[in-house]
Structure 1
Amino acid sequence: MPNDSPYKAALQKLFRTRLVARLDDLRQALKRQSRTTILHALRAVGYLTSYSHAGRYYTLERIPQFDPKGLWRYRQIGFSSRGTLRATLIHLVETSPAGQTHTELQDLLHLRVHDTLRLLVRARELQRKPFQDTYVYLSAKPKPASRQWAERQKLAPPPAPKERNLARVIDILVDLLHHPEDDARAVCQRLRAGGHPVTRAQIETIWAHYHLKKTPHVRSRHGRL
């Protein structure tokens, strides 16, 4: 193997003018065609391959400014402090308090990772559970996975009111329009007096489902403001 010093100097020169490079750029800079020689030179200075674009892009370890999740993007090219896409997915899932869905991971990484996640589950490096209309990916370790699953359950929205109670839902929402300042107890009393069999729990469930927030009474010593 030739002396590494000329290669180090050539790499430093190349990456002073660009932040990432392809294999062809490296071959031209080092004046070598052998991929083995190029990788040997890169290892001597420390390098990373992109997790996106099938790992076709290279950068030096000193260049990326990673975000808190260990990710860095340059012109749509993604790099991770963990190196490979597989290692990055494992890290993102295991460090997430509530696990991760494919959509959440896709938003973080800006690429589809269905196939890689499937391989990780098959290799038992991650596990997954059905959650609503998708899967949530969890740590392969039982105790962390149990904690993640418990946290994910807390993120589930309140159950939707049943269709057979649609008239009751409408009654509650109409009452809210006419009396936006009242609390659930006052609404319950008024609707019952009008012949509508409702409970405070049902009213609060419907408010929560539709993300409605009541405006409380505001009083002063001189009465209502």
Structure 2
Amino acid sequence: MRSLTAAALLLGATTLAQAEEVRVAVAANFTAAMKEIATAFEQATGHSTRISYGSTGKLYTQIVNGAPFDVFLAADQRRPALLVEEGRASAPFTYAIGELALWSADPALITDGAALLESGAFERLAIANPKTAPYGAAAMEVLESLGLAETLAPKLVRGDNIAQTYQFVATGNAELGFVALAQIALDPSGSRWTVEPSHYRPIRQDAVLLDGAGSNPAAQALLDYLQDEAARAVITRYGYATD
């Protein structure tokens, strides 16, 4: 793996003379980490970024319908794989492995997450839309693993993406919710239960270079930067694992 200094020199030498803009579609769970990474990437390379955040499913639909993105950072492997199969993308790799957490803004609410869910002692449980958001699908897997999917169905409040789901809980519109661990990794407030990985399939998040971006040096430079130790350190700090 290259050092930060070596990566910066290599990227700078190849891109500063012809700085470009890279348009990036980013899964909502990766918002905070990507903002920090984008700032460092721009400083290291001279390129600029234009970033759109949203649910993986909706971003995938936008790409299929011709949205002018260069790079896609999904919250799963399935949509990037579909884009590769359809000839719309190439060079997939896993940039982060996400974890799921049950979180409440109330610091006293969650002591035993599984027991709390089983008790049903709450009015609303927020999850991201499982049809479009991989973290929402993972949340449903947890409920099914605990045998609570049907019992808790009337209490579910669905956000369009994991960012909206977090807001439901943060504002008190839901007493608790399943969020990405990355959203609360640097925030000690509230109470939480980091869900055991045995309750859901690993959330491997893949990045791809989208068709037509091959002539944009900023697009490949960003993908290279995401695999460098500087970016990986940020990704780890936000609660993700890396390969």
TM-score by length of 2: 0.25
- Report which of the two structures shows the higher radius of gyration computed on alpha carbons: 1
More strand by share: 2
